[in-house]
Amino acid sequence: TETALPRITVIGTGYLGATHAICMASLGYEVVGLDTDPRKIERLQSGEVPFFEPGLPELLAKTMATGRLRFTTSVEEAAAHGDVHFICVGTPQKPGMDAADLTYVDASVTALAPLLDRKVLVVGKSTVPVGTAARLTGLIKELAPAGDEVELAWNPEFLREGFAVEDTLRPDRLVFGVASDWAREQLEASFRPIIDNDTPVVVTDLATAELVKVAANSFLATKISYINAMAEICEATGADVRHLAKALAFDDRIGGRFLQPGLGFGGGCLPKDIRAFASRAEEIGVGQAVSFLREVDAINRRRRSRTIDLVREMVGGQLNGKKVACLGAAFKPNSDDIRDAPALDVARTMHGLGANVRVYDPAALDNARRAYPELRYGTSAMDVAADADVVVLLTEWTEFREIEPSALASVVKHRRIVDGRHALDAEFWRAEGWEYRALGMP
């Protein structure tokens, strides 16, 4: 006889939670998504995804039609529904500090636990400092009427923005941090269709599961800063980081992915995760082990100022009064996310230096406008490039890669371009009469 599928609740319907809820419902589970923000819930319930993610709106429409998915602000409703409760709330950087802010994680557990009166599994998915699960286990046991019956597990999430659906339904691996066989069985039942798809599962303890996530993001950030450090050396020696990266990538022990030099990493994950990890390691007395992450962060920040240096050099040493067209605002293409976006950081700094900056992005303009009303925005690449002294490519959207140098030449004042992402064919642009500069190449 087939055991019934566990009923799932997802707490927090931001980027991670909304994707998780929709994908789980698409796999056949009965899912309730919970959030404290009534506007988010209203939009999701009416079939609208409140952020940009390719493929997700279609999947939401499809799953809403099955009746297996609903969204609510009622924690009572969520608690009554779920056999397995996924915690998917944000863990942003604490303002002015490196540590992670666990306010939302703690608040969701504090709200949910007192309503747990039967044996259920609470599963943390949020990225947290190691040791958080152990602390929350204690909190749940203290607050839940079902006491020891309620268990906590940790199941880190590795999805990338822009590929969220694909990464959730076909992940590279699943990591189950559990304290008992029962918890492992519950997680297996919650991911059955994905496991049956030959997805590797690593079963481990809670602390290891918490660590896998920050270790993975730290590795990725380190890889990016490594190639960007090599770019700095190239700049000092006349070497070409594009060829260097290509040659390294042929060694499949190194691999070519996340070896794209340029403006460096941003977003709501990599920057804050490496800082929180370094900070947590210091707290527990092993700061030295990951002190290199401070360097990874510093290299990454230098790419932003060095990009501005290139622009400044190109316009003759002074940004003041120069018209600068910024192509891109999102932290990466196929996203409207502007959290710690290198593109906007560069645009704002140049604005602060007196440049006449105009920004265009295919998806992130609304978010950018809201966060930085002091900047000026345009409706297309051609629009912001009109009469520009210099064009700066900051996010490698396909639509920017496909720009014809001759078309752009017809609107700018000077044919000067800084390619912050090595997204364009340098030789071709130069042949078309453009002064082309990029980090790490002559």
Give the nearer residue to ligand UGA in terms of CB position, either 144 or 418: 418
Residues 6+ apart with CB under 8 A from 22: 56, 59, 60, 63, 69, 165
- Shortest gap between Cβ of 209 and ligand UGA (angstroms)? 14
Structure-token match 């004042």, residue found: 413
Is 62 labeled as ligand-binding?
no
Rounded CA separation 338/156 (Å): 23
Q: Which of 27, 269, 344, 350 binds ligand UGA (CB under 6 A)?
A: 269
User: Could you say which residues in the range 309-338 bind ligand UGA, by CB under 6 A?
Assistant: 331-332
Cβ atoms within 10 Å, residue 60: 22
Report the alpha-carbon distance of residue 365 to residue 343 in Å, rounded: 12
Residue by residue, DSSP assigns 136-203 as HHHHHHHH-TTGGGSEEEE----PPTTSHHHHHHS-S-EEEE-SSHHHHHHHHHHTHHHHTTT--EEE
Q: Which stretch binds ligand UGA (CB under 6 A): 99-107, 136-144, 254-262, 384-392?
A: 254-262
Q: In angstroms, what CA-CA distances link 134 with 183, 208, 267?
A: 15, 11, 28
Between residue 179 and residue 238, which ones bind ligand UGA under the rule CB under 6 A?
A: 217, 220, 224
Q: With respect to ligand UGA, which residue has the nearer C-beta, 24 or 220?
A: 220
What sign has the CA pseudo-torsion 398, 439, 260, 280? negative
389 binds ligand UGA (CB under 6 A): no
| Residue 318 token pair | 């002074």
Contacting range for ligand UGA; rule: CB under 6 A; set: 67-75, 140-148, 256-264, 361-369: 256-264
- Please report whether residue 161 would count as binding ligand UGA according to CB under 6 A: yes
User: What does the longest C-alpha to C-alpha distance in the chain come to?
Assistant: 76
**Which range in 139-147, 159-167, 201-209, 406-414 contacts ligand UGA by CB under 6 A?**
159-167
Shortest Å, Cβ 181 to ligand UGA: 28
Select from 26-34, 142-150, 156-164, 376-384 the region that touches ligand UGA (CB under 6 A): 156-164
Our CA dihedral for 431, 433, 435, 436, rounded to 10 degrees, sits at: -40
The residues assigned a catalytic role are 269
369 is in an annotated binding site: no
Question: Is 213 marked as a binding-site residue?
Answer: yes
Encoding tokens for residue 386?
Answer: 């009109």
SS3 41: helix
Could you list the residues that contact ligand UGA (CB under 6 A)?
127, 157-161, 217, 220, 224, 258-260, 262, 264-267, 269-270, 331-332
Q: Which residues are annotated as a binding site?
A: 35, 40, 91, 127, 158-161, 213, 258-262, 266, 272, 332, 339
Q: Which residues are annotated as a binding site for NAD(+)?
A: 35, 40, 91, 127, 161, 272, 339
Q: Which residues are annotated as a binding site for substrate?
A: 158-161, 213, 258-262, 266, 332
